[in-house]
Structure 1
Amino acid sequence: MQETQRSETFQHRLEQFNPGMVWLDLSNRITALNDIAMQILGPAAEQSLGVKKNGLLGLNVLQLHPERSRNKLSFILDSQDPVGCPLKSPPPVAMMINIPDKVLMIKASKMVGAGGITGTCMVFYDLTDVTTVPSSVNSAQPVPPRRLYKIPVYRKNRVVLIDLNEIIRFQGDGHYTTITTKDDRFLSNLSLTDLESRLDPEIYIRVHRSHIISIQHIVELVRNKDSVSLTMVDNEQSLIPVSRSKVPQIKDLLGIV
C-alpha cells in the first residue's frame, strides 16, 4: 500500500515536469528541440564535443551520450514493432547522459508522415533532483557524478523510484541490472558501471564483476575451499560470490581476521 501511494505521488509530480523534446531525422540527427532540451543537452554538447548550444542542430544525438550508453539509446531509437506498426514504441529507459549530474528518463516514438516514417520524437524527463543528492563541490573543480539516493525503474506502465536503503543487491547482465530488495525484484536498464560511480562506496561494494551488494544486508560470510561468498538478507538468502581481490576489503569491513 505504501509503495502504491509513493508511486502515485511520484506519478503526479512527473505530470508536472516540463519534458525535454527533441526531433530527430531518419539518421538520428537533431532537427529541432525545445528550450528544456536545449538547457540539458547544450552543456553535454559543450563538455563532450566542444560544441556550443547553437551547434546542436545537425548533431547525431548519440554523440551526446557516453559511449557505453550509445547501444542502449540506439536500440530504442531504431526499434521497430514486429507487426510493422510504426506508432508503437519501446518503454521508457533511464539513462545517464554525458554530464556528471544528470539522470534522464527517455521515451522515443517514430513519427509518420504521408510518405511513411519521417524521423523520431524523443521526449525525456530530468529526474536528477528526485534521484540524486546535490553536489557540494565548488564549481571551479571537476564535478563528480551526483550520488544516487533513489533508482528510477519502469514497471507496469509507471516510473517507480526505489529507495536505496531498501536495496540489498544489484546483479548486472550487460546493459541491464536486476535490483533486489527484501521482498521484490526490479529490472533496471542502468548498468552496474552506471550505478557504481553514483553509490556510496562505504555502503555499496562491487564484490564481483556482476554484483554490487549493500554491506548493511550481509547475513554471513561463507568460506569454501577455494572461494568466499556472502549470504544476503533477501527472501532467497542469495549467495553472492566475492572476487579474490575483494576478499581482504570485505573481511576488513566485517571485522573478520
Structure 2
Amino acid sequence: MKRVLDKTPPEPSFQHKLEQFNPGIVWLDAERRVTAMNDVAIQVLRPAAEPGLGVPLDDMFGVDVLMLHPQKSREKIAFLLGTGGYGVAAHGDRSPPPQAMMINIPDRMLMIKVSQMVAADGTVGTCMIFYDLTDVTTAPRAAGYSGDTTGVEPARLLSRIPVYRHNRIMLVDVKEIGRLEGDGHYTTIVGTGDRYLSNLSLSVLESRLDPQRFMRVHRSHIVNLDYVSEIIREDDGFLVALQEPLGPPVPVSKQKLAALKERFGLV
C-alpha cells in the first residue's frame, strides 16, 4: 500500500505576508504638513479625509497631517511625530529610532511607523510608513446586523488584534482573549497564554469586538463571556470570575449588572 504524502505548502507566516504588503508612504515637512504620498496612502487616507473629515483630495497636500485622522487619533499621531518628548534634541545629531503604533481610522486598522529625517542642519521632516492590516485582522459583521441606524456600513469586527512586541507585529486571536483592561489610551490584553499591551483604547476595541462574545462590564474592563466561570457577590457589589489563568475577578458596575445577568439567563 503506497503512502500518499501531503504536498500542501505550509501557510505563510504573518511576517512573510507583511513583507508582501505594499506600504503607504507619507512625507511631511518640519511643520508636519503633507508634502507627498504614494498611491497606497492616497487610497487609504482619502476615504477618511474627504467625506468624514471634510478635507478634499486636492487639499490633502500642504495640510497638517493630523487633519487626515479622526480627532480621537490625533493625540497619538502627534506623539509619534514628536510632541510627546520624542525628538532629535534628545539624540544629538542623530535621528531618533523609528516609533510604531496601531491606529484605528474609519473601518481600517493601520500599523504606522514614523522616522524623523535629519540633514546637516537638523530635522527636515518626517517619513510615515504604514501597513493596512484590515484584511488580516477583521471580518464583516454578521448578515442582518441592526446595531446601526445611520445607513452607513458598520466597521468590520476584529478577528485578531495587532500588537507590537520586540520590533515585531503579533496578531492575537480574539477567541483566545479572556479579558481586556483599560489604562488611559492603552489596553492590557489578557489571553489564555500571555498578556499584551495595545495602544488602542478600550473604547476603540469595544467598538470593534463582537458584542455577542465580548461585554464591557466596567469602565475599565471588557470580558469574553465564553470564559466567565462565576458571578460573585461581594459586599454591595459584584465581580466576574474568569477561567484560569486569566487573573483575579474583575468588578461589575451597577449600570452593567442587569445586562450581564440577562446574558446568562439570571433574570
- TM superposition score normalised by structure 1: 0.91
Whether 1:164 aligns to 2:171 is no
| Residue identity matched to 1:197 | S
Contact 1:152 1:160 in 2 (8 A): yes
Once the two structures are superposed, residues 40-88 of structure 1 have per-residue CA deviations (whole angstroms, 9 ceiling, x without a partner) of: 1111110223232222101111112121211111111112264435423
| Residue identity matched to 1:84 | G
Whether 1:134 aligns to 2:140 is yes
Q: By how many angstroms is 1:134 displaced?
A: 3.4
Residue segments in structure 2 that go unaligned for 5+ positions in a row: 1-9, 145-149
In 1, Cα distance between equivalents of 2:244 and 2:59: 49
Q: Work out the number of aligned pairs and report it.
A: 249
Contact 1:183 1:234 in 2 (8 A): no
Contact 1:168 1:234 in 2 (8 A): no
* Percent pairwise identity: 49
Misfit runs of 4+, over 3 Å? 81-86, 134-137
In 2, Cα distance between equivalents of 1:239 and 1:87: 45
Aligned counterpart for 2:188 among listed residues 175, 178, 203: 178
Q: Report the counterpart of residue 43 of structure 1 in structure 2.
A: 47
Residue segments in structure 1 that go unaligned for 5+ positions in a row: none
For residues 33-182 of structure 1, the aligned pairs below 5 Å read: 33-78=37-82, 79-80=86-87, 82-84=90-92, 86-97=94-105, 99=106, 101-134=107-140, 141-182=151-192
Q: By how many angstroms is 1:156 displaced?
A: 1.4
Structure 1 residues 241 and 108: alpha-carbon distance in aligned structure 2, compared to 1, 3 A threshold: same
In 1, Cα distance between equivalents of 2:38 and 2:261: 52
Once the two structures are superposed, residues 114-156 of structure 1 have per-residue CA deviations (whole angstroms, 9 ceiling, x without a partner) of: 211101000000000001113669xx94121111100000011
* Bigger radius of gyration among the two: 2
Q: Bigger relative contact order, structure 1 or 2, given CA contacts below 8 A and separation 6+?
A: 1
In 2, Cα distance between equivalents of 1:218 and 1:125: 35
- TM superposition score normalised by structure 2: 0.87
Q: Report the counterpart of residue 4 of structure 2 in structure 1.
A: none
Q: RMSD of aligned C-alpha atoms?
A: 2.1
Contact 1:21 1:34 in 2 (8 A): yes
Contact 1:86 1:110 in 2 (8 A): no
In 1, Cα distance between equivalents of 2:67 and 2:244: 40
In 1, Cα distance between equivalents of 2:199 and 2:98: 13
In 1, Cα distance between equivalents of 2:174 and 2:246: 19
